[in-house]
Chains A and B, each alone.
Chain A
Amino acid sequence: MQYIPNILFIIALVAGIGYFAMNIRKIIRNIKLGQEVDASDNTAQRWSNVVRIALGQSKMVVRPIPGLLHVIVYVGFIIINIEVLEIIIDGIFGTHRVLFSILPAGLYNFLIASFEILAFLVLVGVILFWTRRNIQKLKRFWANEMKGWPKNDGNFILYFEMVLMVLFLTMNAADQSLQSLGAAHYVQAGSFPISQFIAPLFNGLSEGTLIAIERGAWWLHILGILVFLNYLYFSKHLHIILAFPNVYFGKVVPKGKFKNLDSVTNEVKMMMDPNVDPFAAPAEGATEAPAKFGASDAMDLSRIQLLNAYTCTECGRCTDECPANITGKKLSPRKIMMDTRDRLEEIGKNINKNGEFKPDGKQLLDDYITREELWACTTCNACVEACPVSIDPLSIIMDMRQYLVMEQSAAPTELNVAMTNIENNGAPWPYNQMDRLNWKDEN
């Protein structure tokens, strides 16, 4: 009987981690629906980006207040996870504060004290995050695409963190009281700079009640962490993992450099080469033109673009700096990322159900992202510059424009005129190429 808690704990742990692993596999499968890209270049630059942008949070602090709050939550979270390690060992083996028996007492006390202070700072940070969303109502959290689930998701995460931190501190406070009562099993361990202020609330409680509080908080805390872990998959909070790979795969060439389509290059070369017989059968093994130019659905995008979609934190910094959005156009780069993720998830569910993707009569274009949004973009790169996790919404917009123009000839009329002019006169205006040098003799 005495092993029941250990067994329950192991079951919860395996179930929690197992379900999470399953969802991670789904994410990987879905990302692999995208087109392969070669990202083996610039390895040094990529690693340095991970260190600066992800680990070092360099783009977060461009906006000092949320940046600083986030650094606190982020550092706190990572360091407090050392404590979770102890909790897991205790849970499996039925020990209590096992690290105290391994580490020097001074170090252990220092660690526990740091966790407490960090937990307190995280709590404060998260509460401030909450007020920014709900009291201050910052514009970027209240845009059109932030209604319903995205808005709730943003708050749930914060409630989760608040509850976890309070449970952690409650657990320590009860532990402290039990230690001073000299309760069996509760070794004199740890230093509690924060929860010492909670402990007096427990004065006069019996040992039994205190144990119930301590155990209750302990269990809720670790179960809460496991639930939270599994919540990630459904949330923009997935970024706490994906931010790192995403920054690694972020754009490492100048932002103004858009990729050239190789298939088009081959075709253009053929057309321009007078030695090529346009009617000759394509050479054996010659690369076929791709089935499709540009992107109209999530699978047409690259794997990096799909990873981008899962990583997006919905922070809206991109949209906040987007000239089209600022001036009231429908375009919002954040929505581009959210739509891409939603559509990819829909495709994923379709595959779960049918074993393979069964056409559902929908696509990313029109059913999620409208043409009006796509044509409002000035390709100014403000969104790319603003994104703290190196997402490139512009590349998706460009791929979808490419589909519209090259597959559907569906550019706005004025653009068709400009393009015809380029084709015929070598300039987007209806001037004669022979007049190009006229400025020389004018005054």
Chain B
Amino acid sequence: MAEYMAQGKKPEVLFWVGCAGSFDDRAKKITKAFVKLLNKANIDFAVLGTEESCTGDPAKRAGNEFLFQMQAMTNIEVLNGYEIKKIVTACPHCFNTIKNEYPGLGGNYEIMHHTQFLKSLMEEGRLKVEGGKFKGKRITFHDPCYLGRANGEYEAPRELLKKLEVELVEMKRCKSRGLCCGAGGAQMFKEPEPGNKDINVERTEEALETAPKIIAAACPFCNTMMTDGVKAKHAEDDVQVLDIAEMIANAEDL
């Protein structure tokens, strides 16, 4: 972004990479896949790079409002400094926080989740989504809580999957009644409370009941949780966990 600024240019959209997308090895693959798609569609985009910092979502949901607002205001200062209007992110948690909780602190942006953004590119004809090697494959989609229930977006990811011409089989609990993967509310960063099962295993079992070739995800944290779940069930040789952006990029071997 700093480079854009130096050249006095403004990008069409800012790609908010998020912590997972920046640091987590698995999530970085999603980041790269999404960037390939952005390049393919000739989108003029920028990233904040080292000026990006955690949105504060895990802090807020852990109960640390102070740390959350520190993070939020620092980020808002940077974003407003660059006069950012439009943001896209591949993380539903970043999406939710920037969409719902930043405006009250002075950060007003048009923010889209990457599935929404890709869908709009597809509708505008700027990006072609074709089945390719996924055509006819049995796939189930896991709704991220912070995209679905939290913000009411159930259709964008499904429409992309439809374009990929997959055979979409829904799990018993899906859309507004979808079961959480277990990562939200800062659970990602701690051991679960005592119980009789891990939430990600419960959810993975439900996904495996649909006998999918691929479990499609739209959140880096869900992705980790489901990947771990698949490993716990020793199903990693038969079932892959892939982000929708990765699927679209892979479909045409980008």
Give min CB distance, B109 to chain A, whole Å: 15
Given contacts A401-B62, A434-B50, contact A382 B149 (CB under 8 A): yes
Q: Which of A324, A327, A439 contacts B32 (CB 8 A)?
A: A439
Query: Which residues of A79-96 are within 8 A (CB) of B?
Result: none
Chain B 208-229 near chain A by CB (<8 Å), digits 1 or 0: 0000000000000000000000
Q: Provide the residues of chain B in CB contact with A294, threshold 8 Å.
A: 63
Q: Which of A261, A326, A382, A427 contacts B22 (CB 8 A)?
A: A427
Query: Which residues of B53-92 are within 8 A (CB) of A?
Result: 53-54, 56, 58-67, 69-71, 73-74, 77
CA of A321 to CA of B182 in the docked complex: distance in angstroms?
A: 13
CA of A330 to CA of B196 in the docked complex: distance in angstroms?
A: 10
Query: Which residues of B154-213 are within 8 A (CB) of A?
Result: 173, 176-177, 179-180, 182-199, 201-203
Point out residues on B near A: beta carbons under 8 Å. Answer: 17, 19, 21-24, 28, 31-32, 47, 49-50, 52-54, 56, 58-67, 69-71, 73-74, 77, 96, 99-101, 104-105, 145-146, 149-152, 173, 176-177, 179-180, 182-199, 201-203
In the complex, 23 of the A-B residue pairs with CB atoms within 8 angstroms, ordered by the A residue number, are A62-B177, A265-B105, A269-B73, A272-B73, A327-B192, A330-B194, A376-B193, A380-B185, A381-B145, A386-B177, A401-B62, A411-B64, A418-B58, A419-B62, A422-B71, A423-B70, A427-B23, A428-B19, A428-B54, A437-B22, A437-B49, A438-B22, A442-B28
Q: Provide the residues of chain A in CB contact with B54, threshold 8 Å.
A: 422, 426-428
Interface flag for A197 (CB, 8 Å)? no
Q: Which of A268, A376, A381 contacts B66 (CB 8 A)?
A: A268
A436 x B50 contact (CB < 8 A): yes
The residue among B22, B104, B183 with the most chain A CB atoms within 10 A of its own CB is: B22
| CB within 8 Å: A-B pair count | 218
Point out residues on A near B: beta carbons under 8 Å. Answer: 62, 253-258, 260-261, 264-265, 267-269, 271-272, 293-294, 321, 323-324, 326-331, 372, 375-382, 384-386, 398, 401-406, 411-412, 414-415, 417-419, 422-423, 426-429, 431, 433-439, 442
Q: Provide the residues of chain B in CB contact with A272, threshold 8 Å.
A: 70, 73-74, 77
Q: Which of A379, A386, A434 contacts B185 (CB 8 A)?
A: A379
Give min CB distance, B25 to chain A, whole Å: 9
B100 x A257 contact (CB < 8 A): yes
Q: Provide the residues of chain A in CB contact with B199, threshold 8 Å.
A: 323-324, 326-327, 378
Give min CB distance, A21 to chain B, whole Å: 39
Interface residues of chain B: helix, strand, loop or mixed (majority): helix
CA of A180 to CA of B197 in the docked complex: distance in angstroms?
A: 67
Give min CB distance, A386 to chain B, whole Å: 8
B73 x A422 contact (CB < 8 A): no
Give min CB distance, B108 to chain A, whole Å: 14
Give min CB distance, A295 to chain B, whole Å: 11
Q: Provide the residues of chain A in CB contact with B189, threshold 8 Å.
A: 414-415, 417-418, 428
B52 x A260 contact (CB < 8 A): no
CA of A255 to CA of B104 in the docked complex: distance in angstroms?
A: 16
Q: Which chain A residue lies CB-closest to B188?
A: A428
Give min CB distance, B249 to chain A, whole Å: 14
CA of A382 to CA of B62 in the docked complex: distance in angstroms?
A: 18
Q: Which of B56, B104, B184 contacts A379 (CB 8 A)?
A: B184
B22 x A436 contact (CB < 8 A): yes
A418 x B62 contact (CB < 8 A): yes
The residue among A398, A427, A429 with the most chain B CB atoms within 10 A of its own CB is: A427
The residue among B32, B56, B100 with the most chain A CB atoms within 10 A of its own CB is: B100
Given contacts A256-B146, A330-B193, contact A411 B23 (CB under 8 A): no
Q: Provide the residues of chain B in CB contact with A431, threshold 8 Å.
A: 22-23
Q: Which chain B residue lies CB-closest to A384?
A: B149
Q: Provide the residues of chain B in CB contact with A402, threshold 8 Å.
A: 63-65
Given contacts A260-B104, A331-B193, contact A385 B185 (CB under 8 A): no
Enumerate the 10 nearest inter-chain pairs by beta-carbon distance, A residue then B residue, closest first.
A256-B150, A379-B185, A401-B63, A328-B196, A426-B53, A328-B195, A257-B100, A380-B180, A405-B63, A418-B189
